[in-house]
Structure 1
Amino acid sequence: MKKKKVLSSKVLSLLFLLLMAIIWLIPILWGVVTSFKSEMELMTAGFRFLPIEWVMSNYTELLFDNSSTPLVRWFMNSLLISVSHTLLVLIVVSLSAFSYSRLNFKGKNVLFSFLMATMMFPSVVNLIPLYKIIDIFGWVNSPLAMIVPGAAGVFNIFLVKQFMDNIPKEFDEAARIDGAGEFSIFLKVILPLMKPVLLVVALFSFTGSWNDFLWPSIVFNDIDKMPITPGLQLLQGMYQAQPTLLMAGALVAIIPTFVLYLFAQKYFLESMSLSAGVKG
């Protein structure tokens, strides 16, 4: 009787997850097939999931005929910004977390508590002062306007610090006995053990930077220097009656994050446990 109940619960769970997967996949599949339809077919063929004729004209028009919509340039701008931002985040966050977790200095706990308290404020309240700072530095219409702000994300520092707190401090003491300094301990002892959580931070930082829309829409007004997300908004303005082109542009925009997660999902799932990698 118990086995039947367990089996039926597993079947119901499987059916529920399958239903959720189908609901999630249908809009994506619809976008993919729509991007391969001609504009005439979309307007005249009625509701039809698969195209009558598969065409590549939407992609060729966006990627090669891009005098007014430089999609390739937007893509490369986003790639440069996201990769640079992610590397800077990893450097700043790992060093900050090491300071709060391993070093002893006056006011450390008070400073960390104040840092955590800033998470209570919505990020939108920082837009005007942050823009003023960016303008003073002369970073408007510059990739630095997206690379530098947010490098010291409070949540990322908290996440890495919590992970680092689980690393036994006996490792540090053994390294000090061998004559290692604090920076050597960080590079040779702590950093190799932080790979799982740093991969999570890298994934979140890259996807957050790549998908950011509000901030780049504020700091960029030069079309050639825009990342791809606000560029898609311009596509919507230029091609209001051409949803096939919009779908093609949106699919090009999601390629990097999809590929990144595809290859990093193993590490992402493993790192859900903050103690992963330090057991034993």
Structure 2
Amino acid sequence: MRRGGISVNVALWAIALFAVAPLAWMVSVSLMNPGEASSFPPPLLPHHATFANFVTLFASTDMARYLVNSFVLGTLATILSLTFNVAAGYAFAKLRFRGRDRLFRLLLTALVIPAQVAMIPLFLICKMLGVINSFAGVLIPSIASVFGIFLVRQYALSIPDEMIEAARIDGASEVRIFRSIVLPTLKPILATLATFSFLGAWSDFLWPLIILNDSRKYTLPVALANLSREHVQDVELMMAGSVVTLVPVLLLFLVLQRYYIAGLMAGSVKG
């Protein structure tokens, strides 16, 4: 058993190093001098680490604006996702209404439809609403998702019906029950859903590219794609931009890691 455990640990460490190596090299290249990463063989570490690429990135581009755009959109998308997905997931789990199960099964069928298929009708809807080239248009797909509703519903099923019924007998309103009983119980899955929502909004490239045509409203992924066409040879500068894009979501994951893992583990057991 001990040899088997050692083998498993060695294999897991090898997989972890394989996954982390590109990220570590990205950070290393971002600290290199211009042109250093293009030498052969490419160096693993900078000869003289410098933050000049980050200075150039923020001084010569509107990277600060793009960073703020992505942060605002990611935060708003997370708030909207939590508000609507949690309410809908709880309703499908604990509230009784006509056609509830049929409607939920119909929603589940949308999981097999690629998101790209819905972009044309979604774009036409945004055009009719007059939200093209606006942050509101970017946020519309984040309002609710079938996956988010499913995730919350499966976790909410573990809430004892007796607890909710007792609160109703005591005269508590549905809003009071949702706020005082349901939300505290759903804390682990809320952190999981918040992480998914923020990461999805932060790293989304295709939809902001379609809906936005004003460069001042670009998010970080779109801005980096445009920047790469102008500075295709500036590998170090592009890596600095990638680090700027990666660090906020990495910090978010580290902060919410305990709740995130707890939500996944609880979902695997209770779902």
- Asked whether the two chains share a fold, i.e. TM above 0.5, the reply is yes
- Asked whether the 8 Å contact 1:166–1:275 carries over to 2, the reply is no
- Whose Rg is larger? 1
Aligned: 1:114 with 2:106: yes
Q: Which amino acid aligns with 2:175?
A: F
* TM-score (ref. length: structure 2): 0.95
Q: Is the 8 A contact 1:85 1:146 kept in 2?
A: no
Say which SS state the counterpart of residue 170 (structure 1) adopts: helix
Give the gaps of 5 or more residues in structure 2.
Answer: none
Q: 1:59-78 residue pairs with structure 2 within 5 A?
A: 59-66=54-61, 70-78=62-70
Structure 2 residue 239 is matched with structure 1 residue 247: yes
Q: Which residue of 2 aligns with 1:237?
A: 229
Checking the alignment, whether the CA contact within 8 Å between 2:80 and 2:142 is kept in structure 1 is no
| 1:215 and 2:210 are equivalent in the alignment | no
Is 1:131–1:219's contact at 8 Å kept on the other side of the alignment?
yes
In the other structure, the counterpart of 1:39 is 34
1:171 counterpart residue number: 163
Residue of structure 1 in register with 2:49 after alignment = 54
Conserved? CA contact 2:142–2:201, under 8 Å: no
- Residue pairs, 1:1-280, within 5 angstroms: 6-44=1-39, 46-66=41-61, 70-274=62-266
| 3-state secondary structure, aligned to 1:50 | coil
Task: Give structure 1 stretches of 5+ with no counterpart.
Answer: 1-5
1:259 partner SS? helix
Q: SS of the residue aligned with 1:127?
A: helix
Contact 2:35 2:234 in 1 (8 A): no
Q: How many angstroms apart in 2 are the aligned matches of 1:112 and 1:30?
A: 45
Change (3 A) 1:19 1:141: same
- The count of corresponding residues between Structure 1 and Structure 2 is 270
Name the CA shift for 1:212/1:193 in 2 (closer, same or farther; >3 Å). Answer: same
Higher helix share: 2
- The alpha-carbon distance between structure 1 residues 110 and 259, as it changes in their structure 2 partners (threshold 3 A), is same
Secondary structure of the residue aligned to 2:55 is: helix
How far has the Cα of 1:193 moved from its partner? 0.5
CA distance in 2 between partners of 1:210 and 1:274 (Å): 26
Deviations 1:67-120 (Å, cap 9, x if unpaired)? Answer: xxx111111000000100100110101111121112111111111111111212
- Residue 44 of structure 1 and its aligned partner are, at CA, apart by 4.6
Per the TM alignment, residue 45 of structure 1 is displaced from its structure 2 partner at its CA by 6.8
Moved more, 36-45 or 105-114: 36-45
**Quick check: 2:84–2:144 contact (8 Å CA) kept in 1?**
yes
Corresponding position of 1:3: none
- Distance, in Å, in 1 between the alignment partners of 2:37 and 2:204 is 30
The answer as to whether partners of 1:74 and 1:224 remain within 8 angstroms in 2 is: yes
TM-fit CA distance, 1:275: 5.8
